[in-house]
Amino acid sequence: MHNPKEQITPVGKFFAILTKHYLNAFSKKLCSLPFERYYYPLWVIAQNEGKITSKQLTDILQTDKVIVVRIIKYLMEKELIERIQHPVDKRSFLLKVTQKGTIYVPMIEKAMIDTDKEFIDIIPKENRTETLSGITDLVNNLDPIKDSRFVLEFKRLNK
């Protein structure tokens, strides 16, 4: 009988699995909203109160311009954000959440807080501080991804 080799599981696979579970739990909380993705970018735009450019959004989301253009287009089509001419740099636009979009921002924030709590509560209390500190250190000590297009687009599938 053949004994298979012990499978080595890369740590990245664990993070990918956690991401899928997190996004699934998060999106389930928002399934009543009339749009199915880009909740976090909408929240980020709202937090910046009409003072954020697409370049700044790209930096905050740590993604590329093409992805941010798609995000902006989608949110504008849903009438959740608008672009306003930058008062100083006429080549640039500021992103602002519309009155319609503003209604959903507290719901998104609550879903983020609740989902974070669900995941953090899974970690035993005695390990929580050390685990979260370790994850924060890992993120803060990684070099930025350069010239690499990484797309993580999660659409709500249970319509």
User: What are the pLDDT digits (tens) for 25-68?
Assistant: 999 999 999 999 999 999 999 999 889 999 999 989 988 899 99
Look at the chain and count its residues: 159
User: Fold for domain 11-126?
Assistant: Arc Repressor Mutant, subunit A (1.10.10)
- Contact residues for 64 (Cβ-Cβ < 8 A; gap 6+): 58, 149
> Which of 151, 144, 147, 145 is closest to 67 using CA atoms?
151
Domain ranges of the chain: 11-126
Please state the pTM of the whole predicted model.
Answer: 0.82
